[in-house]
Amino acid sequence: LTKADANMLGSYAIVGAHLPMAVGAAWSARLRGTGQLAVAFFGDGATNIGAFHEALNLAAVWKLPVLFVCENNLYMEYTPIADVTAVPRPAADRAPAYGIPGEVVDGNDVVSVQEAVARLARRARAGDGPAVLEAETYRHFGHSRADPATYRPAEEVERWLKHDPLDIARGRLIEAGVPEETVTAADERAQTVVRQAIEAAKSAPPPDPREAFTDVWADGGAAWRT
């Protein structure tokens, strides 16, 4: 998935493969003097991939404006991260080895995340180099539709369900003085948008099978190959 006009460089099927790409994007931004910041999002499992360490090392050596954001949901698909990782915080605990800061934030609290990102972004743009932000969160469901998530303890799931990001955000807004009815109305509008998007996707015609050959080869076509 790529959206160039939104500076979304693309997602990758290979775990951790995009991290060196983010380093390259940060190098490009600095070279061009744009003041841009590269941000790479990845799961806890990617911290055990070599590309993660290569990316942190080069970003640190070159003091690049890049922020590495780890979404730690405690499980590498079906495997508890604690079973296969030597440190408690798979991303933040490894950052100091490369001479860069590693911080942990409540990933279910949007305000805490925003504040941490803003601070680290300012630091990177000021020329102080990269940072790692580890956001602790949780999957409400399995890794995929094929995953019943029965490997997770029921009490753990229940505890995290009570720490829901939307509930926390709602509480933050009301605490800040936003009327509860205003928050409820905003929630209803958001749910309407989501429902409409789902229905639009369901009713959309299937893609043309020929699209599978688009942008596969450098010459832009596949007719002469078939």
Confidence of residue 10 (pLDDT cuts 50, 70, 90): confident
Of 140, 157, 135, 152, which Cα lies nearest the Cα of 41?
Answer: 135
Do 142 and 64 reside in the same domain of the chain?
Answer: yes
Tokens 């998007």 belong to residue? 197
The pLDDT of residue 226: 56
- Give the chain's domain count: 2
Q: Is residue 143 among the annotated active site residues?
A: yes
Q: Does 171 lie in the same domain as 117?
A: no
Specify the pLDDT at position 68.
Answer: 99
**End-to-end Cα separation, the chain, in angstroms:** 27
Per-residue pLDDT tens digits for 31-59:
999 999 999 999 999 999 999 999 999 99
**The tokens of 136 are what?**
């602790």
CA distance 74 to 173: 28
Distance between CA atoms of 88 and 74, rounded to whole angstroms?
A: 10
Provide DSSP, 183-212.
HHHHHHHHHHHHHHHHHHHHHSPPPPGGGG
**Burial of 63 by CB count in 10 Å (0-12 exposed, 13-18 middle, 19+ buried)?**
middle
Catalytic-role residue among 143, 163, 170, 172:
143
pLDDT value of residue 1? 78
Query: Which CATH number fits the domain that encloses residue 108?
Result: 3.40.50.970
pLDDT tens-digit series, residues 146-185: 998 899 999 999 999 999 999 999 999 999 999 999 999 9
222 falls within a domain: no
Active site residue 151: yes
Query: Are 144 and 169 found together in one domain?
Result: no
Provide the pLDDT for residue 225: 57
For residues 116 and 168, state if they share a domain.
no
- 212 pLDDT band (50/70/90 cuts)? confident
Same domain, residue pair 128 and 74: yes
Q: What is the pLDDT of residue 221?
A: 57
139 is catalytic: yes
Q: Out of 12, 53, 123, 139, pick the active-site residue.
A: 139
| Mean pLDDT across 89-110 | 98
**Catalytic position from the list 151, 159, 189, 195:** 151
173 lies in which domain range? Answer: 164-204
CA distance 159 to 108: 13
- Domain annotation covers residue 87: yes
Structural domain includes residue 174: yes
Give the pLDDT of residue 9.
87
Give the whole-angstrom CA distance, residue 213 versus residue 208: 10
Both structure tokens of 80: 């508890």
What is the pTM assigned to this prediction? 0.88
- Residue 30 near residue 65 (C-beta atoms within 8 A): yes
State how far the Cα of 22 lies from the Cα of 36, in Å rounded to an integer: 12
Mean pLDDT of 191-217: 91
